[in-house]
Each structure stands twice: as C-alpha cells, then as structure tokens.
Chains A and B, each alone.
Chain A
Amino acid sequence: MGLVLEGVNRTVDGEVFLSDINLTFERGEFNVLLGLTEAGKTTLMRIMAGLEPPNSGRVVEDGTDVTSVPVRKRSVGMVYQQFINYPSLSVYDNIASPLKLAKLSKAEIDRRVRTEAERLGIDHLIDRLPAELSGGQQQRCAMARALVRDARLVLLDEPLVNLDYKLREGLRSELRNLFADRDTVVVYATTEPEEALVLGGKTTVLHEGRVVQHGVTAECYRHPANTTVTQVFADPPMNLMPVRIDDGQLQAEGVFKAPLPAHMRELTPGDYTLGIRPHHLYTGAGDDRVALEGRVEVAEIAGSVTYVHVEINGRDWVVEERGVHQAHPGEQFPIHIDLARAYAFDGSDSLAAAPASERG
C-alpha cells in the first residue's frame, strides 16, 4: 500500500511541467526525487499533496482515488526550502498547530508535541519564537510540525538547501532515522546527487517533467538508464564521448583507439556513447589505461580534490584529481582512462554496458 501516480500530466499556459508520470511509492520507504531545478519536482509534490490538480491522470492513495480530494481532507506533512513557521507562535504552539486543527485532546497534543520536539532535538527551545532560533533550529521546528500528525504522506522539498554545510550534514544524517519506524510515504526532493546517495532508499530521476529512471538509489547510480541520468545523477556529471565499436576495437575519432574492455565485448558493432566518471580518469599511466590528451580550460580546487575541466576534441570533460594541483588554461593535459570502468550507451540512448562493479 502506498501512493500511486497514474499517467499524471500537468501543463500551465502551454508549458509542460509534467508529462505522463507513472510512479509507485510504498509506505515505510524513503523516496528521493532527484532532478535539476525546473525538472518538475515541486509540481509533482504539489500534485501528490493535493495542492494542485493534475490536468490528467490519477493520484491513488492506498487504493482510493484522491486526485480531486483537497489538501485539507488529506493527511499530508510538508517541509519547504524556506523555514516555514507561524511567526507569532512559540515552537510548542507551532508544532501543536496541526494537532489543534485536528481537534485532539490537550493531553494527547502535549504528549505528541514533546515527543516530536525531543526527536528533533529542540525540546529545550519549546518556548521560543521562530525568529529567536537559528536556521537549523527553525527547520527542525518546521519538520516537527510536518511529522507530528503522523501523516500518511510526508513531502520534503529541498529542506536542507538554505542551511549551511555543517548543519546540513547533521540534519541529513538524522533524517533516515527520523523516518525509519514510520508507516509513511516519504518523498524527498533534491538537486544534489550526493544527498540522494547518502539518504539511500529509492530514487526517481526527473528531467524536464519526465521520469527518466526509478529504482533503488545505488542501482540507479551504478546503472544509469541513459545519458540524461549520467548528467543529473552525478556531480560533476559523467564525461561523454561518441565512439565506434568495431572489430574488437573501441575508437573515438581522432582521440584514441583501444581494444574493447571485457564488459563491452558482447556489444554489437556500431556507434555508441562512452561514459566515464571524472574519478576514473587519471593523470598517471597504468597497465590498462588508455592515454589521451586534453586542453585545460579551468581548474577548480574543491577541498582535497581538484576538478580540471579539459576540452577533448570539442567535448568538455572533467578530470577529478586527488590533492590540490595547478593547471593553467590552454596547456596540454595528459589523461589516462581506465576503460574497465567505462559505460556504453547505444544509439537509442539506453545503457548497453556497465562496469561489473564500482568501487566509488
């Protein structure tokens, strides 16, 4: 039992926001909705909540069609990117507000508010006003309000975006535990691949209003269904290069030619797109590595790694290099590919071959 979307479409003023969405979310599961901004994540959540009707299609909750049931009559909790709390009410009254509107007894409200505040670590702040809290605490208060009513559906729309790095990591690691023993459909929207991987569960990759892949998070990452997923569900995105497979050889016109790696030997000869993650490109030569050269465009130093953006035969690639390195724009940059780690996508843009297992 859970929430099922059947052929959901949403168009506003001729602009397609969602097209033919078919998804099933099970209760007790953690679902990540991953997509770039404008991919339709928020619209999809609004439709799931009943804040907005789809133009066509159905929303089915536990076997009942709830498409036209207004949000007031559903059981939904939602957390937003902004910290949404009632400004003039204390943390206690904020968390209690949905319960008061649901007309629960005073004792029951008190018990549930205190339990929820404790789970979110804000029980000592219960008498404060939202404006007297830090951003992280405000968002915890908003989360407590969304969770306290034990709604059948809990939607989190990029809830950690406005928090600073440290707070974000702290809250993110708590999130899974918060939902672990709840019989709720949880949907978490994010633009960040890393967040999806940390949260685990199932991932739905959304792109331009369409579902491009849906499945167990790690599985989606290891076996991206097409090149779109490789761009959305990886940061920096996977490097792509058109190649030709023929005669047991893998050839990228004017870049390199090498014998096929083991996992691509079964592929029928033809044109493919080669995909390789930035951390499977090396600056040093190795036994099974194919050498090629790029021209440096820019080098970004991000903590302990350096992302070197290079141009290879008109394609922009990113090389992830451990440590802090200098690379000057315009200079030649040697790259060594470990082809055993490469993906191949066929002419109709579907995954044709993936590496046997992936370490990182």
Chain B
Amino acid sequence: MDKREYQWAWLMVLPVVLIVAFSAIMPLMTVVNYSVQDIFGPDSRFFVGTEWFKEVLRDPALHGALVRQIIFSAAVLFIQIPLGIGLALCMPKKGIGVSFALVLLALPLLVPWNVVGTIWQVFARPDVGLAGVTLNSLGLDYNYTGDSLDAWFTVLVMDVWHWTSLVILLCYAGLQAIPDAFYQAARIDGASRWAVFRYIELPKLKGVLLIAILLRFIFSFRIYAEPFVLTGGGPGNATTFLSQSLTTMAVGQFDLGPAAAFSLVYFLIILLFSYVFYLTILNMDREG
C-alpha cells in the first residue's frame, strides 16, 4: 500500500471529524472553560480553579437531587425490566395479533416527551382527571400536587407507561430470535415452564436485556420534560431531578460557572455508570 492512499483516508475522515468537533467537542470544551471561571460579562472573567466544583459537590440541594435521581432510576429499572420481560412473554407469537400488539406498544414511544407530561398532568388531576377522580372516589386521598408520595407515584407510573414498551419490544425481538428447537428440546427433556424461562429464555435474552437496562438507565437518569410538565419538580422539590436542578441553575439563576461544573459532574456520573454496564455486556457476551 503506498502513502498516497493513507493521505486520502485522512481526507475522507475529515468531514466526520469536523462535524464531531462542532457538535460535541467544542461545546464540551466551552463547558469545561466556563467551569473554571467566574464570568461577569464578555470582557470580565476570572479564573477560579476548582472553586465551582467544590461548591457544587457540597451543595445540599444537589445532593438531594442526586439521591432522588438514583432512587428514581433504580425504581424505573426494578419495575420496567421485569414488567417488560413478563409482558414480552405474554405477547402473541404469530398471527394478526402481532402487528396489533406492536402498534399498540409503539404508541407511547411516539408521543413527544412534554406531551406525555401534559397527558398525565390532566389525566391525574384530582378535580377533573379521569385517574385522579377515580382514585379519590375509591376513597383514596390522592393529590399529586400536594402530596410528595402521590407525586412520586404519578411520575413513576407515567414513566412506566411511557417507556416499558421499549423493554417489551427489545425482549420480544430477543424471544423471537430463539429457534423453536430449543423449546422442543426442553419439552422432550420434560422441563417446566419456569425451567424454560430460567435456562433458555433468560440466558438468550441476556444481550438485549443489558441493552434495555443501559438505555433505560441513561434515559431515566436524564429525565426532564415529563416531571417538569407534570409536577414542576414539586411539591417542594420532591420530584426535582438532576437535569431540572441544572436548568434552574443555568437558565433560572444564570450561574454559568457552577452550572458548567455541575454539567461535567453529571456527565461523568452517566459516563461511569454506562461504562460499567458496557463492561458487563462485554463480559457476558462470552456466554452468548
């Protein structure tokens, strides 16, 4: 291979490098730049070193948001993954039921995120919303705008409604890929339904499940629009998650330095968790 070809290769990669530079690297560097400076105006800025990081990491409001965020993401995974697997197992395997079920499942995923918030905001209202009125008429004192627990419950149910479909669809695709011979072999062995699930379906789903967990973790950790529209982070700050705290800090209070430092910490947390999941996928891949 001669040298000219190598030079051509660099030229061919250039557009991608430029796009990535403009869309990801340069904004990120701007954030890094902001995070170490105190900015008063275009011409008056001071280098503050790790000051903002120290402030952000000590901020009790952010600690609260981080704890809520972790609880929320954990709850999302604990509910949606088993529920998704369970529902995927109940899906029809062939016939017209398949297309019907697939369309039905895809619907929540097609709704814009802030519209999801609006739908549930109306649906769960204790005075006029169908769900809210029904719960109250059953004798439950339900009011998501006043009670923290009710607010959490509503946000979780909304997220389950919005995102479980994704887990179901991934698992369903994984289940469809298992050759029928596996089920036959299990029947011949005399294996129970549970054994078929435990020793055939679950190991075969490992790959898609890890992708589902990864996606659901990242999406839920970044959640913003739905709770913002539904509860506005309230009551109090009971349902204020990380991204909303960040927005308040950056756009509301215009504290660009701390907000930039916080963004970087936030980004690193997601990166760290994703990397752990990624390593797990790589290691489990061996077992197919």
Name A's B-contacting residues (CB within 8 A): 46, 49, 51, 71-72, 76-78, 80-82, 84, 86-89, 97-98, 101-102, 129-132, 142, 145
Q: A78-B184, A88-B287 are in contact. Are A98 and B189 (CB under 8 A)?
A: yes
Q: Which residues of B contact A142 (CB under 8 A)?
A: 185
Cross-interface CB contact of A98 among B190, B200, B286, B288, cutoff 8 Å: B190
Per-position contact with A for B13-56: 1 when CB-CB < 8 Å, else 0? 00000000000000000000000000000000000000000000
- Range, interface on chain B: 10 to 19
* Bound CA span A84–B196, Å: 13
* Bound CA span A120–B200, Å: 24
Distance in angstroms from A291 CB to nearest chain B CB is: 52
Name B's A-contacting residues (CB within 8 A): 179, 181-182, 184-185, 187-191, 195, 199-200, 202-204, 286-288
Kindly report which residue of chain A lies nearest to residue B179, judged by CB atoms. Answer: A82
Q: Which residues of A contact B182 (CB under 8 A)?
A: 84
| Interface pair B181/A129, CB less than 8 Å apart | no
Cross-interface CB contact of B203 among A80, A88, A97, A102, cutoff 8 Å: A88
Distance in angstroms from A163 CB to nearest chain B CB is: 16
Q: Which residues of B contact A78 (CB under 8 A)?
A: 184-185, 188
Q: A84-B182, A89-B199 are in contact. Are A131 and B188 (CB under 8 A)?
A: no
| Interface pair A86/B199, CB less than 8 Å apart | yes
Distance in angstroms from A77 CB to nearest chain B CB is: 7
Q: A86-B199, A88-B199, A131-B288 are in contact. Are A49 and B181 (CB under 8 A)?
A: no
| Interface pair A87/B200, CB less than 8 Å apart | yes
| Interface pair A86/B203, CB less than 8 Å apart | yes
Q: A86-B199, A87-B204 are in contact. Are A72 and B190 (CB under 8 A)?
A: yes
Cross-interface CB contact of A51 among B188, B190, B202, B286, cutoff 8 Å: B188
Q: Which residues of A contact B191 (CB under 8 A)?
A: 97, 101
| Interface pair B200/A51, CB less than 8 Å apart | no
| Interface pair B286/A131, CB less than 8 Å apart | yes
Q: Which residues of B contact A51 (CB under 8 A)?
A: 184, 187-188
Q: Which residues of B contact A84 (CB under 8 A)?
A: 179, 181-182, 185
Distance in angstroms from A178 CB to nearest chain B CB is: 18
Cross-interface CB contact of A132 among B185, B187, B189, B286, cutoff 8 Å: B286
3 interchain residue pairs of minimum CB distance: A88-B203, A131-B288, A87-B203
* Bound CA span A49–B181, Å: 13
| Interface pair B188/A76, CB less than 8 Å apart | yes
Q: A84-B181, A101-B195, A130-B288 provided; 12 other pairs, C-beta below 8 A?
A: A46-B184, A49-B188, A71-B187, A82-B181, A84-B185, A87-B203, A88-B199, A98-B188, A98-B190, A129-B286, A129-B287, A131-B288
A-B residue pairs in contact (CB < 8 Å), sample of 20: A51-B188, A71-B188, A78-B184, A78-B185, A78-B188, A82-B181, A84-B185, A87-B200, A87-B287, A88-B199, A88-B202, A88-B203, A88-B287, A97-B189, A98-B190, A101-B189, A129-B287, A130-B288, A131-B286, A142-B185
Query: Across the A-B interface, how many residue pairs have beta carbons closer than 8 Å?
Result: 58
* Bound CA span A82–B204, Å: 15
Q: A86-B203, A87-B200, A89-B199 are in contact. Are A77 and B188 (CB under 8 A)?
A: yes
Q: Which residues of A contact B190 (CB under 8 A)?
A: 72, 98, 101-102
Kindly report which residue of chain B lies nearest to residue A76, judged by CB atoms. Answer: B188
* Bound CA span A47–B202, Å: 29
Contact residues of B: prevailing secondary structure:
helix
Q: A49, A72, A102, A145 — which one has the most chain B CB atoms within 10 A of its CB? A: A72
* Bound CA span A49–B184, Å: 10
Q: A86-B200, A87-B203, A88-B199 are in contact. Are A131 and B287 (CB under 8 A)?
A: yes
Q: A97-B191, A98-B190, A101-B191 are in contact. Are A87 and B288 (CB under 8 A)?
A: yes
* Bound CA span A340–B288, Å: 57
* Bound CA span A76–B190, Å: 10
Q: Which residues of A contact B189 (CB under 8 A)?
A: 97-98, 101, 145
* Bound CA span A59–B191, Å: 23
* Bound CA span A87–B204, Å: 7
Q: Which residues of B contact A88 (CB under 8 A)?
A: 199, 202-203, 287
Q: Which residues of B contact A87 (CB under 8 A)?
A: 199-200, 203-204, 287-288
Kindly report which residue of chain A lies nearest to residue B195, judged by CB atoms. Answer: A101
| Interface pair A80/B199, CB less than 8 Å apart | no
Q: Which residues of A contact B188 (CB under 8 A)?
A: 49, 51, 71, 76-78, 98
Q: Which residues of B contact A77 (CB under 8 A)?
A: 188
* Bound CA span A77–B187, Å: 11
Distance in angstroms from A97 CB to nearest chain B CB is: 6
Distance in angstroms from A189 CB to nearest chain B CB is: 13
Q: Which residues of A contact B185 (CB under 8 A)?
A: 78, 80, 84, 142
Q: A86-B203, A101-B190 are in contact. Are A80 and B286 (CB under 8 A)?
A: no
Kindly report which residue of chain B lies nearest to residue A151, judged by CB atoms. Answer: B188
Distance in angstroms from B199 CB to nearest chain A CB is: 5
* Bound CA span A142–B182, Å: 11
Distance in angstroms from A198 CB to nearest chain B CB is: 25
* Bound CA span A81–B181, Å: 9
* Bound CA span A72–B187, Å: 6
Q: Which residues of B contact A80 (CB under 8 A)?
A: 181, 184-185
* Bound CA span A81–B179, Å: 11
Q: Which residues of B contact A130 (CB under 8 A)?
A: 288
* Bound CA span A84–B202, Å: 15
Kindly report which residue of chain B lies nearest to residue A52, judged by CB atoms. Answer: B184
* Bound CA span A49–B187, Å: 10
Distance in angstroms from B185 CB to nearest chain A CB is: 5
Q: Which residues of A contact B181 (CB under 8 A)?
A: 80-82, 84
* Bound CA span A76–B185, Å: 10
Kindly report which residue of chain B lies nearest to residue A87, judged by CB atoms. Answer: B203
* Bound CA span A255–B204, Å: 60
Distance in angstroms from B128 CB to nearest chain A CB is: 51
* Bound CA span A28–B191, Å: 27
* Bound CA span A89–B286, Å: 13
